[in-house]
Structure 1
Amino acid sequence: MGEATGGVLAEVLGERQHQDAKWGQQNHAPEVWLMVLAEEVGEANQAVFEALFPRFDKRAAERGPRDLAEYRQELVQVAAVAVAAIESLDRQGSRG
């Protein structure tokens, strides 16, 4: 782990707190968590695609080239959802 790991994990924790404030404690079945996680991964895919290939998206092309900040934020959300799924699994007594 590098020096940046602590900062990244703090961002993930902040996103987890945001999720709990917005949605409350979530205790979904594993298949629901996978769908939520897949949706977040899809948003990360779209963010990086639009940043790297704006010519394929009319709205992105009008905005011009983008940096990867939105992609990075989506990755933080992916990590936070994965943590939430693990927390839920543990609360439900399904720890492997």
Structure 2
Amino acid sequence: MNNPNTTHRVLREVLAERARQDERWGEQNHPDGTGPTIELLPGWPARELADAARATCQLHADQGILTYRDVFGEEVCEALAENDPAKLRAELVQAVAVGVLWIEAIDRRRTQARAEEVPQ
């Protein structure tokens, strides 16, 4: 389990960024623009891209070469393929949670690198 203080710090940064966004652009109310048939790339409906991202994530996990790019990409693609508001919300929560996890991992690596630089 990750240190809760680390997660709280990252979430405070997310909250600060949200405040900056609101200050800059005010309340935003755009359409979702998601759904299984929406083409995210030419010729790639969102559902097909989500399926490909899921398969790639599983393949890389099976091969022992899984990356945060794989996991985050899968979650984002799954969200973009959803048009049911409750399911879209759940997928976005998962994507954001993986994003926070990834940020925590980056911070851990930086902390470990600094610790290794200190002469013993």
Query: For this structure pair, what is the TM-score category when the shorter chain's length is used for normalisation?
Result: 0.3 to 0.5
Between the two structures, name the one with larger relative contact order (CA 8 Å, sep ≥ 6). 1
Instruction: Determine which structure has the larger helix proportion and give its number.
Output: 1
| Larger Rg over CA atoms | 2
